[in-house]
Amino acid sequence: MARACDICGKGPVTGHNVSHANNRTKRRWYPNLQSVRVLVDGHPRRIRACTQCIKSGKVVKAPRGAALTRS
């Protein structure tokens, strides 16, 4: 599974760990992804969204019990 946000597509970025002796080793920074229940086409579905998308309101969470109210 990709470590990327389903809303904005934010993914890992790369760089270096730098020690006091200026030794450089590769490392990765991962986005803060959360599993969220959202409404997609009127049905609840789980997606992985970054916390910035959740906080900014780009994600509308599904209400509890939405799966039970299918007609």
- For range 9-31, the mean pLDDT: 97
From residue 38, alpha-carbon distances to 12, 23, 26, 29, 56 in Å are 23, 44, 35, 26, 15
Tens of pLDDT, residue by residue over 28-38, are 999 999 999 99
- For range 3-29, the mean pLDDT: 97
Please state the pTM of the whole predicted model.
0.77
For each of the domains in the chain, give its residue range(s) and CATH number, in order of start. 13-63 (2.30.170)
- For range 19-42, the mean pLDDT: 95
pLDDT tops 90 at residue 42: no
In the chain, % of residues over pLDDT 70: 90
- Report the alpha-carbon distance of residue 68 to residue 18 in Å, rounded: 52
- How many other C-beta atoms can be found within 10 angstroms of the C-beta atom of residue 40? 13
Average model confidence (pLDDT) across the chain: 90
- Report the alpha-carbon distance of residue 39 to residue 59 in Å, rounded: 9
